[in-house]
Amino acid sequence: MKKIIMLCLAVCTITLAQAQDQLKVITFNIKSFENSNFDVKPFAKLLAEENADIICLNEVENRSARQMDPKTLKYRDVVQDLASQLKLFGVFGYSYNLMNKKGEEDESKYTFCQDELYGNAILSRYPILNINAMQLPRPANSADQRGVVTAEILLPSGKMVRVACTHLDHIGGQMEQAKVLVGSNVLSATIPTILTGDMNQWPGTEVIKLLDASYDRLCQEGKTYQAGSKLDYIYGSKGAFEVVEKRIGSNVCDGVTLSDHFPVISVIKFK
């Protein structure tokens, strides 16, 4: 009997270790929760069905006037609201203040502003130890201020992984912005890195070639934007990860199309 118990424990330990080295990652441009009238519940329902370990979100409007609770007229931290509903840790990465969307005022004026925020977010099943939010270059030919947020996550196995979530400009300046993504502030030399986001560039462009040269592409090919382009990607440090599964998910929940993008889903494991 003891031998059987020990064998079962050994099998369970191996299975648990394998599970801890496997991550389900989603990147999703959520269009500021607009399509659900700023209700996060449909997004929580859609994402809960995937039971992902890491969820990266773009076009995240947080604590804005149009998201206010109509009864209390108080600002809502919708990122933490969504994280709470999914029972995940959550961090928001600031890109710009909605009151300064055109960048006409000095950004330092909004350094300590807690409301009218716009950027990216990372949700994680596992503890987030270190966070860094950076604004990306904003050349004259670009439309908006863009940013990248990184989170270093401690996995149950004791391994660390750095997750970076970004959204590049849709008009111009993507190459200048992408050069930051392949630099050491994002791509770690010591910690396996996962880079996700809406790059606003399709395969074969110079921007995507740069990212492909610096990372392994870990996501499904095919359109991720309803207009017909592949704009959303999941990347990993060269040689660090193996793809177990990859697909493009549905953006519809209970008959409501939640975004003009589709969630991109990959299951990966450490090599």
Give the helix/strand (H/E) hosting 42: helix 41-48
- Rg of the chain over Cα atoms, rounded to whole angstroms, equals 19
**For residue 156, what are the domain limits?**
24-270
- The answer to whether 44 touches 113, Cβ cutoff 8 Å, is no
CATH number at 77 reads 3.60.10.10
Q: How far is CA 39 from CA 4, 60, 88, 124, 249, in A?
A: 51, 13, 18, 21, 20
How far apart, in whole angstroms, are the C-alpha atoms of residue 38 and residue 61? 9
State the chain's mean pLDDT as an integer.
Answer: 93
In a domain, 18, yes or no: no
Residue at 176 is within a domain: yes
| pLDDT > 80? residue 19 | no
**Once rounded to an integer, what is the mean pLDDT over residues 62-89?**
94
Question: For the chain, what is the domain count?
Answer: 1
Report if residue 91 sits inside a domain: yes
- Contact between 50 and 265 under an 8 Å Cβ cutoff? The reply is yes
**Residue 114: pLDDT over 60:** yes
Q: pTM for this structure?
A: 0.92
Residue 173: the pLDDT is 98
pLDDT digits (tens, 9 = 90+) for 116-156: 999 999 999 999 999 999 999 999 999 999 999 999 999 99
* Cβ burial, residue 128 (10 Å; 0-12/13-18/19+): middle
Give the pLDDT of residue 20.
Answer: 61
Q: Is residue 5 part of a domain?
A: no
Is residue 261 over pLDDT 60?
yes
Predicted confidence at residue 266, as pLDDT, reads: 99
| Terminal CA-CA length for the chain | 35
Q: Assign residue 69 a region (left: φ > 0; alpha: ψ between -120 and 50; beta: otherwise).
A: beta
CA–CA dist 237, 265 (Å, integer): 17
The reply to whether 8 falls in a domain is: no
Domain assignment present for 9: no
- 256, 75, 34, 264: which is closest to 165 by C-alpha? 264
Structural domain includes residue 7: no
